[in-house]
Amino acid sequence: MSGRIIDEVGIASGPSSRRHPEAAPHIHRVERLPQQTLFTEIRSALKETFFSDEPLRAFRGQKGQTKFLLVLQAIFPIFRWGRSYNLKKLKGDIIAGLTIASLCVPQDIAYAKLANLDPQYGLYSSFVPPLIYAFMGSSRDIAIGPVAVVSLLLGTMLQNEIDPISNKAAYRRLAFTATFFAGLTEFALGFFRLGFLIDFLSHAAIVGFMAGAAITIGLQQLKGLLGIINFTKKTDIISVMHSVWGTVHHGWNWQSIVIGLSFLAFLLLTKYMGKKYPKFFWVSAIAPLTSVIVATFCVGITRADKEGVQIVRHINKGINPSSVHEIYWTGDLLLKGLKIGVVAGLVGLTEAIAIGRTFAAMKDYQVDGNKEMVAMGTMNIVGSMTSCYVATGSFSRSAVNFMAGCETAASNIVMSCVVLLTLELITPLFKYTPNAVLASVIIAAVVGLVDIKAVILLWKIDKFDFLACMGAFFGVVFKSVEIGLLIAVAISFAKILLQVTRPRTAVLGKLPGTHVYRNVDQYPKATTVSGILIVRVDSAIYFSNCNYIKERYFDSLSLS
C-alpha cells in the first residue's frame, strides 16, 4: 500500500533549519516495495551472504582469452602481481627470505619435536607449503610454516590416539591424515565462501586461548630445558609441575640447565633489542640460528651428550618423500584423523587470517579471506602427500618478514630454497644440537603470544569479554588445549546469543533547543516526550528478542 509522509520542516529542512510559520508542509509519496517471490528472496539472501563482493563481476563482457587470464589470476595471484615485478622488489624479497629462513630452520626442528615428530618433518613443512602459498596466497607479508600452537595442539590430540614412541609409524600416518583433513577443511571453507564462520571466534577468546597455549608450550619445554627424560604426556599445569618437581633430585641435568638458560637469556635479550631498536630487528631474527650453531658446536666438541645432555642425534637428509600411501583412507583412524584435522585446520586458519589482516592494514592493501583459505587448504592437502604436517602463517616469522622489507609473497620462495639446501646439505650437522637450546628457542618464540596489554584493555572495556578471555586461558592451562579451545568457542557463541536475545537498548529524550534525540542516561538534560516512549534497540528486532523488549518496556508501561 502506498502512503504519504508529511515533512513539517519543509523542503529546505536541515539539522539547524526552522520551518517558516506560513510554510506549507511538504508531502513525500511512499511506494510499496517491489513484490518478490519466495525463490527471489532466498536467492537474494544467499547472494548477500556468500557473494556480496560479486566475485564474477570482473568476467562480465570479457572475451574468452581475457576470461581465461582472469581465472588464472584469480586462482594464482602471482600472475597478477608478477607482471609488475622488478629488481627492487626482488632485492627486498631475497633479503626478507634469507632473514626468515635463518629463523625458521631452528624453529622447524623445535616445533616438530613439539608435535612428537622427527625433526625433518618440520623442515619438510617449510619447503612445500610456502612454495604453494607463494603462488596462491593474497598476502604479501605472511611467512608460512609450522607454528607452536598448532604443533602443540596436533601433538596433544594425536598422542591421545596413538603412542608416538612405541608406534611411531602409525602416529606419523595419523599426523599426515589429520593434515590432509585440515587442508580439506580450509579449502572447503574458502571454496564455498564460508570464511565468515571464522569471525564467530571472538578476539577476547583468541587472546585468552593464545596466552594459555603459550604458557602450556613453555611448561612443556621444561623437559628439554632441565634435561628430564621421563616426563608426563599431559599438558595441564598441575601434571607438568608434578612431573618437574618429582624429578628434581635425580632427573635434572645441570649441563642442560646451563645451556638452556644461557641461550634463553640471549634470545630474550636480542628479542628486546629488536623491539626497542627496530633497525636491529635482524639481530633477533638470526639469534635462534646462531644459538643452535654455537650450542651444537660446543656439545660436539665437549661431547656433553655423554654426560646426559639430550641431543637431536639424527635428521634425515634429502627432500620430502611422498606420503600419499601413508594417509589413512579407511578405518577408524580415518575418522580420528578427520576430527583432529578439522580442529587443527580451524585454529591454523584463524591465526593465519588474523596475521594477514594485521599486516595488510599496516601496508594499506586488501587480503581476500576466501582466497587465503583456498591457498592454505591447497598447501596443506599437497603437504599431507609430501610428508608435511599442518602449516599456517607464523606470527614471529611474518613480523620478521615485514620488518625485513618483503615486497611480495616471493619471500616464501626464497625461504623454501634455503630450506631445500638445508635438507640436502646441512642436516647432518645438527646431530649434536642439544634439546635444551631448542627448548629455549620455542620459549622465546611463544613469549609474544601472551598479550597482557590486550587483557587489561578487555577488563576496562567489556567485563564479559574479559571473562571469555580468562575462561579460554584457564581451560588451556589447567585442563588441555582442546578443552580451552572448546571453552573459547562456547563463550564466543554464548556472547553472540546474549547480544541477539538481550540487545542493548536506550530510552531517548530530546535535547533542549534541538530536534536531536539522545540516550537520557548519557544526556541528563534530555527530556522525554509526554505520553510517548522512544526506545532505541541496537539490534534487529525479531522472534528471539521481541518478548524481551516488550516485557522490559511496554508491559511495564501499561502497568504504570
Q: Which of 17-26, 143-152, 231-240, 250-259 has the lowest mean pLDDT?
A: 17-26
Whole-number mean pLDDT of the chain?
Answer: 86
pLDDT tens column, 435-485 = 999 999 999 989 888 889 999 999 998 888 898 899 999 999 998 888 888
Average pLDDT over residues 243-266: 89
Per-residue pLDDT band for 10 (boundaries 50, 70, 90) equals very low
pLDDT tens column, 110-121 = 999 999 999 999
Q: Which of 9-23, 120-134, 188-202, 348-362 has the lowest mean pLDDT?
A: 9-23
Helix (H, G, I), strand (E, B) or coil at 47: helix
Per-residue pLDDT band for 375 (boundaries 50, 70, 90) equals very high
In this prediction, residue 231 carries a pLDDT of 86
Average pLDDT over residues 129-134: 96
In this prediction, residue 16 carries a pLDDT of 44
Greater confidence (196 vs 503) lies with 503
Q: Which of 61-70, 168-177, 427-436, 512-521 has the lowest mean pLDDT?
A: 61-70
Give me 202's grid cell.
571472538
How far apart are the C-alpha atoms of 255 and 150, rounded to whole Å?
30
Please name the residue that has the C-alpha cell 510499496: 32
Greater confidence (541 vs 182) lies with 182
Torsion of CA 478, 481, 486, 488, to 10 degrees: 80
Amino acid code (one letter) for 97: G
In this prediction, residue 443 carries a pLDDT of 93
Per-residue pLDDT band for 17 (boundaries 50, 70, 90) equals very low
Contact 506, 523 (CB under 8 A): no
Strands 143-145 and 26-30: unpaired
Percent pLDDT > 70 in the chain is: 92
Res. 8: pLDDT tops 50? no
Average pLDDT over residues 480-493: 84
Q: Enumerate residues 6+ apart whose C-beta is below 8 A from 181.
A: 337, 338, 340, 341, 342, 345
Res. 106: pLDDT tops 50? yes
In this prediction, residue 549 carries a pLDDT of 84
In this prediction, residue 15 carries a pLDDT of 45
Helix (H, G, I), strand (E, B) or coil at 464: helix
In this prediction, residue 121 carries a pLDDT of 96
What's the whole-model pTM score? 0.83
In this prediction, residue 560 carries a pLDDT of 53
Residue 2 has a CB neighbour count (10 Å cut-off) of 7
Among candidate residues 180, 116, 165, the one with its CA nearest the CA of residue 334: 180
109-127 in b/e form (b: 16+ CB < 10 A) is: bbbbbbbbbbbbbbbbbbb
Residue 490 has a CB neighbour count (10 Å cut-off) of 15
Average pLDDT over residues 145-157: 93
Q: Enumerate residues 6+ apart whose C-beta is below 8 A from 322.
A: 385, 386, 387
How far apart are the C-alpha atoms of 483 and 489, rounded to whole Å?
10
Greater confidence (326 vs 57) lies with 326
Per-residue pLDDT band for 398 (boundaries 50, 70, 90) equals very high
**Sign of the torsion angle spanned by Cα atoms 329, 332, 336, 339:** positive
Average pLDDT over residues 152-167: 92
In this prediction, residue 238 carries a pLDDT of 92
Per-residue pLDDT band for 377 (boundaries 50, 70, 90) equals very high
Residue 453 has a CB neighbour count (10 Å cut-off) of 8
Percent pLDDT > 90 in the chain is: 47
In this prediction, residue 558 carries a pLDDT of 55
Contact 459, 219 (CB under 8 A): no
In this prediction, residue 43 carries a pLDDT of 78
How far apart are the C-alpha atoms of 409 and 496, rounded to whole Å?
36
